[in-house]
Amino acid sequence: MNILFKINKLKISGFKSFPYPKEIDISEGITGVIGPNGCGKSNIFEAIRWVMGEGSSKSLRSNSMDEVIFSGTEKLPAKNFAEVSMEIQKPEKNNEKLLITRSIQRGVGTFFKINNKDVRAKDVSILFTDSGSGPRSSSIISQGNIDQIINFKPLERKIILEDAAGISGLQARRRDSELKLMATEKNLERLNDITQNLERQMLSLKRQARQAENYQNITDKISENEQCYYYLKWYSFEKEIFANNKKLKSLKINSKKLLNSIQEIESKKKSEVKNLDEYRLKISNLDRLLSEKRISKNELENKKNNIELRTKEILDYIHTFNQDMDSEKKRLNEIQENMSKVQKNLDSMEIPKKLINSLKSLKQDENNLTSQISEIESKLFSEMQLTLGEEFKKDNLRETLSKLRNKEKVVSTEIRKLEYEIRIKEKKFKEKKSKEIEKKVQYLQENLKKKQKKYKIIEARNIFLIEEKEKIGNEIEQISNNLTKHTTERETFKKIAGNINYSKESIFKLIRIKKGYEKAIYTALNYELDAELKESPKRWEFRHIKNLSALPNKVESLVKFVEAPKEVIPLLSQCGLVENKADGFKYQKVLNIGQYLVSKTGESWRWDGLYCEKETEISKISDFQIREEKLDNIIVNDRIKLTEKDKKKKLLVSETENNLKEFSNLKRDIENLHENIDNEKKSLVKFQQEKILEKNLIEKLNERKKFISIEFSKLSNEINHLSNQQKASKKEISKRESSEQRNLEKLLKDLKKELIRKKDSISNLNKKILSIEIKSKYWHNYMEENIKRKSESDAHLNSLFSRIKALEKEKKIIHKDPKIYESDIKLLEIDINTIFSKQSECVLKQDNLKNKISEYEKDIKKLTEEKLSLNNDIIRTEENFAFNKDNQNTISKEIQKKYKVLPHKLVVVEDLKDVKNIQIEDYEKEINQLKVKRDLIGPVNLRAKIEEKEISDELLELTSERDDILLAIKKLRNSIQNINTEGRNRLIKAFEKVNNNFSTIFTKLFAGGQANLELVGSDDPLQTGIEILARPPGKKLTSINLLSGGEKALTAISLIFSIFLINPSPICILDEVDAALDDSNVEKFCKILREIKNQTSTKFLIITHHKTTMSMVDRIYGVTMMQKGISDLVKVDFEQKEFKEAI
């Protein structure tokens, strides 16, 4: 079978440990990749899987996809972009070359391109899947995963057969078709729901359209009546405006006359005010002069008082300064005494010459002792070097002996540990664990049956509860709709009844009528219904009326049919009830004055011969009340029903939730039981496998124990030999110790003691000299402080003396001033009295003028009030004029807006010729009645007809769309069926070939043995699993999991290569698959690999550390890491001429 394409090159840039662009030629044959651990070999193969469409970051050994980008080193910064490209060649299309590229940008995402054109990840995945390769195909074996195929469950191994049959691409397409089918079926369900909803809306809209037509007819009538109403309204305001204008002219003439009178009096008042202002100015000037004189007097008195106070202050300051001078003189004397004492102490603080000479002598002795010690130490060092070699040998022996004894302890401990482990393992498998597991499995299966039975019962109950809940939900919705309808109707009646404005205290609200007699009572009390019992314009007062006439025989009084206040009883007692019209006319003839007859239908007969059929207004009140009572009862019943249904629904919801919880718990318990049973079965198999493994392990432990025991005896002999050597070494060292060395050590010790004594003496002398110097420094500082204090005290005394002198001088100057100020004060007092007498005369004249002005002001006020009253009348008239004008304009605008004509042109219309003779109230009443009639229709959808047409068109479109979807579903199902048929055929053919190839290759690799494949789990090849049966030579046929690591690896290799013989992949990647094989098996592996290479056109890439494998490859790429964290490539092609000759 030919491959679909060939892979020629791989380009890597910024991927993992490859920051710089690298190119790998993938040539025919086998390409090896070698290098030390951690240098980035596996990163090359991960780059191939990544460009093939691998979507899991964990399978690429990363936590997130951004981690495949080069993350940087100490010297090189991280990259933000990575790209891997693969060049493929299609032989079927004239060797057409395609460049498949996958790139990733940090924080942005990953992108795929083919020949620099953006494509989907799915397109790339299908391209490789069709060729039998891909990121997770069996042709790519990752590091340490060679035996993964062996450890797969049978169903998971199906991928091998799919690769062999070349249907991986078909399976991917089938999955896409199934997903499309599911999505299309969901779209069909949604479309059906929409269609049903639209059909329901159509029925509703037809009913709404009929209502809208009726509504429109009434609206047209309202519009006709409103034209008449608006014109009459406009004309009434026109008359009011004319009357207001006439009144306004008359008021303005009267206002002008009053204004002239006010102006005459104002001119007289102004002349008097002018005279008053002159006197006020004179009084003000005199007042100002008087204030100035008084201020001058006060200033002189203040100056006199200030001089007296300042004199007293100066005397106090002089006394205080004298006291300060005395205390400062005492302080100066104390400072001079301290200075003389300090000078005496300074004279006595000199260092003796004897101490200095002693210090020099001691330092000379110290130097001599130091030189003697140095000579003796050099002699002693030469003696110690002679014995150093022997001591070194002694230490080596001691260390070696210690290590051997420690090793002896470790070996002894290991022997005891092995003996204990052997006993435990032998004891462990004496227990009857397998029977316990079997009993547990049986118990779990019985429990499972009970749970499953209960599961079915709860499931049936849940279905029933859900159906009941839906049924009650529908009933609640219906009752809610009825309740809303009746509530709306009742509110409408209340609004209509609200137009009949009866207060809460009226008779209408106070009477309680027996059911069925409403029209009779309302007819009898037609004109009294709005009367009240309290103080009001229309009220009903209680009267004791005697000798009331009795009603005719067989006529009952209305008092029996109503509960009413006592004020109304006399009237009701004179009103009788008749059964029909004939009785009414019959008994009318015998009625007394003031008596009245009514019927249940609202007809009335009065004593004076008046007969009235049922009153429209009364009939309406009665009908509204009856209907309102009925609606109240219906609403109460609806609410009771709704409450009951809600309670029932809540109970059902609660029970459903509990059942669902129990159902969910039971389902989880059943799943857990299934899982526990599977686990216990696995435990049983595992226990049996462990038992076999543990037996082998016990044998190995016994062998290990024998080997360690032999080693223990060898160690004991070696320890004895080294102990003898150590004793001989001690004797040798003791001989070398001489008496001369001991003498030198003693002399050195004595000299060092003498040197320490000399150093102590020098230290004591230094301390004495330092103490004397510190005391001297202290007295010098104290002397300087006293000198500074003396200078400060002298300066302070001088300052005090100068201040006292200045104060004495000021005292002499101010002593003369007080006498001068006394004469000036007396002159000012005479001037103040003269000015005050002049001011009193002016004030008297001013008061006379004020009285005159006051009289003028009273006259002006009176006339002003009259004018103000006229102005108020003018304002009110103007406001009325403006109000009427605004209202007229508003109505005029409404008319123009509604009818597009001016108001006075409305009467031109023939239907409105006699409109001026009709009252506005008649039209208003007619309009209200029509509006009530329109309101009774309820909410109306005026767009119902248009919406009906729109929904009809939409239904046609949806029907066409549904036909298209049904056709698409049919095509998808046929497509899936064809894919499944093709897949089954290919799988059956491929299985036979793979089984034969697997058996052949297995026999070659193991040099014998037997192996084959079996289909298990299902009769459908597409749903089946693959079981591997393998028996290496010399072994029984057991579970494949019991094979060794090397045997599993060889079995997996046999299976992979058996696929390549049928459906060769463009590339096969083997990452250290030979790691678990010994040398002989590696040679077998290499031999088979050469055969496969020669039989197929598959290109092989293999990572290896084994020399045998390296020797058989056609070319090698060496992966190095010269800089930490940065991988590099070196290529060696053994197919080139110079390398062939070297080989």
Tokens in use for 266?
């104002």
pLDDT of residue 1140 exceeding 50: no
pLDDT of residue 84 exceeding 90: yes
Q: Report residue 1055's pLDDT band, with 50, 70 and 90 as the boundaries.
A: confident
pLDDT of residue 801 exceeding 50: yes
> What pLDDT was estimated at residue 391?
54
> What pLDDT was estimated at residue 499?
46
> What pLDDT was estimated at residue 12?
92
Write the pLDDT tens digit of every residue in 251-270: 778 877 777 877 787 777 78
C-alpha torsion sign, points 856, 857, 860, 862? negative
pLDDT of residue 936 exceeding 90: no
Print burial letters for 272-308: b (CB count within 10 Å at least 16), e (below 16).
beeebeebeebbeebeeebeebeebbeebeeebeebe
Q: What is the mean pLDDT of residues 560-589?
A: 81
Mean pLDDT of the chain: 74
Task: Write the CB contacts of 579 (distance below 8 Å, at least 6 apart in sequence).
Answer: 599, 600
> What pLDDT was estimated at residue 1139?
45
Write the pLDDT tens digit of every residue in 974-988: 777 776 676 677 766
Residue 23 three-state SS:
strand
Distance CA 314, CA 310 (A): 6
pLDDT of residue 327 exceeding 70: yes
Task: Write the CB contacts of 1000 (distance below 8 Å, at least 6 apart in sequence).
Answer: 1058
Task: Write the CB contacts of 363 (distance below 8 Å, at least 6 apart in sequence).
Answer: 762
Distance CA 911, CA 155 (A): 94
**How many C-beta atoms lie closer than 10 Å to residue 322's C-beta?**
11
pLDDT of residue 1123 exceeding 50: yes
Residue 297: HSE in the Cβ half-sphere, 13 Å Cα cutoff: 14
E strands, 109-154, in order: 109-114, 117-119, 140-141
Between these two residues, 393 and 1069, which has the higher pLDDT value? 1069
DSSP string, 490-501: HHHHHHHHHTS-
How far, CA to CA in Å, does 46 sit from each of 346, 548, 1065, 1104? 95, 120, 17, 16
pLDDT of residue 82 exceeding 90: yes
> What pLDDT was estimated at residue 75?
82
Indicate the range of 430-439, 457-466, 951-960, 1083-1092 predicted with least confidence: 430-439
Chain center to CA of 515: 64
pLDDT of residue 102 exceeding 90: yes
The C-alpha angle with vertex 535 and arms to 531 and 538, in degrees rounded to 5, equals 30
Task: Write the CB contacts of 181 (distance below 8 Å, at least 6 apart in sequence).
Answer: 969, 972, 973, 976
pLDDT of residue 759 exceeding 90: no
Distance CA 188, CA 970 (A): 12
> What pLDDT was estimated at residue 642?
78
Print burial letters for 917-927: b (CB count within 10 Å at least 16), e (below 16).
eeeeeebeebb
Indicate the range of 205-214, 496-505, 625-634, 1034-1043 predicted with least confidence: 496-505
> What pLDDT was estimated at residue 83?
94
Q: Report residue 136's pLDDT band, with 50, 70 and 90 as the boundaries.
A: confident
pLDDT of residue 8 exceeding 70: yes
Distance CA 568, CA 528 (A): 9
According to the per-residue pLDDT averaged within each range, which of 49-53, 510-514, 558-562, 625-629 is highest? 49-53
**How many C-beta atoms lie closer than 10 Å to residue 855's C-beta?**
12
Q: What is the mean pLDDT of residues 412-419?
A: 68
Residue 355 three-state SS:
helix
Q: What is the mean pLDDT of residues 619-627?
A: 55
Indicate the range of 389-398, 966-975, 1053-1062 predicted with least confidence: 389-398
Tokens in use for 560?
């029996």
Bridge partners of 33, per DSSP, are: 1103, 1117
> What pLDDT was estimated at residue 1143?
41
C-alpha torsion sign, points 848, 853, 859, 865? negative
% pLDDT > 90, the chain: 2
Q: What is the mean pLDDT of residues 402-423?
A: 67
Task: Write the CB contacts of 237 (distance below 8 Å, at least 6 apart in sequence).
Answer: 884, 885, 887, 888, 891
> What pLDDT was estimated at residue 15?
92
> What pLDDT was estimated at residue 553?
79
Print burial letters for 553-578: b (CB count within 10 Å at least 16), e (below 16).
eebeebbebbebeebbbebbbbbbbb
Indicate the range of 153-157, 641-645, 731-735 predicted with least confidence: 731-735
> What pLDDT was estimated at residue 11?
92
How far, CA to CA in Å, does 157 sit from each of 699, 1024, 1097, 1118? 35, 10, 25, 34
Any idea where the domains of the chain sit in the sequence?
Answer: 349-381+740-793, 527-615
Between these two residues, 1019 and 1005, which has the higher pLDDT value? 1005
- CA dihedral (329, 335, 338, 344) in degrees, to 10, reads -110
Contact criterion met (CB below 8 Å) for 641 and 479: yes
How far, CA to CA in Å, does 424 sit from each of 428, 689, 737, 906, 990? 6, 18, 59, 120, 51
Contact criterion met (CB below 8 Å) for 19 and 82: no
pLDDT of residue 958 exceeding 80: no
**How many C-beta atoms lie closer than 10 Å to residue 719's C-beta?**
15
Pairing state between β 22-25 and 575-578: unpaired
Indicate the range of 33-37, 641-645, 807-811, 819-823 predicted with least confidence: 819-823
Q: What is the mean pLDDT of residues 546-569?
A: 79
pLDDT of residue 1074 exceeding 90: no
The C-alpha angle with vertex 322 and arms to 318 and 327, in degrees rounded to 5, equals 150
Write the pLDDT tens digit of every residue in 19-49: 889 898 888 888 889 888 888 888 888 898 8
How far, CA to CA in Å, does 605 sit from each of 523, 580, 586, 610, 623? 10, 12, 10, 6, 21
Bridge partners of 1004, per DSSP, are: none
Distance CA 1122, CA 522 (A): 114
Q: What is the mean pLDDT of residues 660-665?
A: 74
How far, CA to CA in Å, does 1103 sit from each of 206, 400, 562, 1070, 1081? 79, 45, 112, 6, 17
Distance CA 1084, CA 1109 (A): 10
The C-alpha angle with vertex 633 and arms to 629 and 634, in degrees rounded to 5, equals 115
Pairing state between β 6-13 and 1025-1031: unpaired
Q: Which fold has domain 527-615?
A: Alpha-Beta Plaits (3.30.70)
Pairing state between β 22-25 and 6-13: antiparallel
Indicate the range of 201-205, 571-575, 578-582 predicted with least confidence: 201-205
Q: Report residue 85's pLDDT band, with 50, 70 and 90 as the boundaries.
A: very high
How far, CA to CA in Å, does 956 sit from each of 195, 945, 953, 1003? 10, 17, 5, 70
Write the pLDDT tens digit of every residue in 357-378: 676 776 677 677 677 766 776 6
> What pLDDT was estimated at residue 264?
80
Length of the chain measured in residues: 1143
According to the per-residue pLDDT averaged within each range, which of 285-299, 389-403, 752-766, 997-1011 is highest? 997-1011
Q: Report residue 1141's pLDDT band, with 50, 70 and 90 as the boundaries.
A: very low
**How many C-beta atoms lie closer than 10 Å to residue 739's C-beta?**
6
Distance CA 850, CA 870 (A): 30
DSSP string, 174-213: HHHHHHHHHHHHHHHHHHHHHHHHHHHHHHHHHHHHHHHH
Q: What is the mean pLDDT of residues 113-125?
A: 86
- The secondary structure of the chain in percent helix, strand, coil, rounded to multiples of 5, reads 70, 10, 20
Task: Write the CB contacts of 416 (distance below 8 Å, at least 6 apart in sequence).
Answer: none
DSSP string, 270-292: HHHHHHHHHHHHHHHHHHHHHHH
Phi-psi region of 946 (alpha: psi -120 to 50; beta: other; left: phi over 0): alpha
Contact criterion met (CB below 8 Å) for 100 and 88: yes
Q: Which of 947, 1027, 1033, 1021 is nearest to 989 (CA)?
A: 1021
According to the per-residue pLDDT averaged within each range, which of 124-138, 701-715, 979-993 is highest? 124-138
**How many C-beta atoms lie closer than 10 Å to residue 13's C-beta?**
19
Pairing state between β 96-105 and 109-114: antiparallel
